[in-house]
Structure 1
Amino acid sequence: MSAPDDRIAKGPGGLNLPRPTNGTPRLSALIVARNEQERLPDCLASVAFADEVVVVLDRSTDASAEIAKAAGARVIEGAWELEGARRNTGIDACTGDWILEVDADERVNPALAEAVRATIATSTHAWHQVPVDNYVGDRLIKYGWAGSFGTTSVPRLFRRGAKRWRAQRVHPGLDWTGKEGPKITTGALVHLVDRDISDMLRRLDKYSSAKAADLLAGGDIGTLRANVRRFFSRGFKSYVSRKGYREGGWGVLLALCTGAFPLLSYLKARLEPERHRPAP
């Protein structure tokens, strides 16, 4: 199995894609990041086929801004408490007819880059799902991703004006204008989701803390009984419905994290509200 970096376009010359001409839709690539100087260069190289690259940096203190500017990207710096707000800032800054959202720990492989260009040249729809290959370290894990802990398909390619993120801290909801088109099935968004098991558990802790803040801000944290049910139902979905069992022990780990996310979020909000309640 190839390591993820072998599947990444390393620069504009590596793709050999035709540049848009008059009448061809323009594509903006949007990257939202915070202190990602290590991962940002490869991410930027993988979206070099776009006509415009916009990078939104949230409270970054490392060299991310300099790296993005050196790659020719337009950089917007600021501080946003809500993930939805910072992503909407980036969407508003894009000038292309279409926008492709990519996180700093993701890379657009060459096959997906070509599929994106082909899609926007002919699509009459407002948005399209994009396939995702999830890696933990150098291991591609194809099965078991479910719920808020991971997915194998994301709605990242859309017309400007079609997508808005809601005001939430973690995995905010989406509002759409227009109809969904067919899912892109060629290539993949390579997601370097976790470096190892410890990194996965740190992500669970970080996400559940942010979700606890959202629950407290909304004024309804739910009930213990409902979240215990979600622990089992989401774990079952991950391990059985999403075929996590095909990944062996990794599937067990994903099922545990997928089920634990809503339960842990509730428990943090219920037992430690003073630690997770958003500031006024």
Structure 2
Amino acid sequence: MKITANIITLNEEKNIEAVIKSVQTVCDEVLVVDSLSNDKTCEIAEHLGARVIKQKYLGDGPQKAFGENYATNDWILSIDADERLDLNAIEEIQKLDLETTSYDGFSFARKTYVGDNFIKLWYPDRVTRLYNRKKCAYSKQKGHAKVEAKNVCDLKADMLHYSYEDYIQMIRTTEKFIKRGAQISLESGKKASSLDPFVHGVGALFKALVLKGGAFHGIHGWNVAVISAYSSYMKYALMLEMQKNDK
């Protein structure tokens, strides 16, 4: 099929082989936009037939948009190194007639794992990842960007997301995103009040445990809910600290 896989990487030698083999089932071209890795990511990718473009990290949205420029196809399958196409996703993509479709893009239900544990709380977490670059594109957000498309078809297909090896890694990664999120919010002109850490922290906990039913998902539902609440609380607490230091 005339689809180009677009994968952004940084030191992903543990993941790169699996993700490339996953997309090669439906893509005739694989691009890897590498943020100057110092491991064997690029070597493995090239050995598997992918084309590697090296580019210093520009931010999530800009980095993914950068890769589009090197694609020979208009249909792009954007996938992260820690993601895989489930068998039902491969089957659904193979059924598509991309030459005649009226849709601008197609979304997948993402199944996220912490270690071997499927986090039901986050499912289906719809993400548009297969899209026509002539009709839509990634947003320019530096963090957690998404494809901006209006005419999207929700496929009955899953994208597997092996996000964290364990909860220790999840906590460490969350702390990195807290700082980045606070900086991005301030740069965009947002301000935090003294009540925001409590409001957003409690709100995140209530949403995860009650509105999404995480309280009934066992220990993994509670773990994720508490970490999410901690992330929301500390983001605004850090924004307050940054605002104070700026003054």
The offset of 1:39, in angstroms, is 0.9
> What is the total number of aligned residue pairs between the two structures?
244
**CA contact under 8 A between 2:74 and 2:134: conserved in structure 1?**
no
Distance 1:260 1:172, change over 3 A: farther
2:61 is aligned with what amino acid? G
The offset of 1:221, in angstroms, is 3.2
What is the distance in 2 between the residues matched to 1:272 and 1:165? Answer: 29
Cα RMSD for the two superposed structures = 2.3
> Quick check: 1:41 aligned with 2:12?
no
Matches within 5 A, 1:63-82: 63-82=40-59
Give 2:221's aligned residue.
251
The offset of 1:237, in angstroms, is 1.9
**CA contact under 8 A between 1:29 and 1:54: conserved in structure 2?**
yes
What is the distance in 2 between the residues matched to 1:229 and 1:266? Answer: 10
- Please state whether the residue corresponding to 1:93 is helix, strand or coil: coil
**CA contact under 8 A between 1:244 and 1:255: conserved in structure 2?**
yes
Distance 1:71 1:106, change over 3 A: same
**CA contact under 8 A between 1:145 and 1:244: conserved in structure 2?**
no
**CA contact under 8 A between 2:111 and 2:122: conserved in structure 1?**
no
Gaps of 5+ in 1: 1-19, 21-25
1:184 is aligned with what amino acid? L
State TM-score, norm by structure 1. Answer: 0.79
- Please state whether the residue corresponding to 1:29 is helix, strand or coil: strand
Give 2:31's aligned residue.
54
Distance 1:120 1:273, change over 3 A: farther
Give 2:72's aligned residue.
95
Give 1:193's aligned residue.
163
Gaps of 5+ in 2: none
What is the distance in 2 between the residues matched to 1:229 and 1:70? Answer: 50
What is the distance in 1 between the residues matched to 2:188 and 2:74? Answer: 35
What is the distance in 2 between the residues matched to 1:66 and 1:51? Answer: 20
Matches within 5 A, 1:1-280: 20=1, 26-49=2-25, 50-121=27-98, 123-142=101-120, 144-145=121-122, 152-172=125-145, 174-176=147-149, 178-181=150-153, 183-186=154-157, 188-272=158-242
Identity of aligned residues (%): 26
**CA contact under 8 A between 2:194 and 2:240: conserved in structure 1?**
no
1:60 is aligned with what amino acid? S
2:165 is aligned with what amino acid? R
Deviations 1:182-220 (A, max 9, x none): x1113x211111111101101210111111221232232
Give 1:4's aligned residue.
none
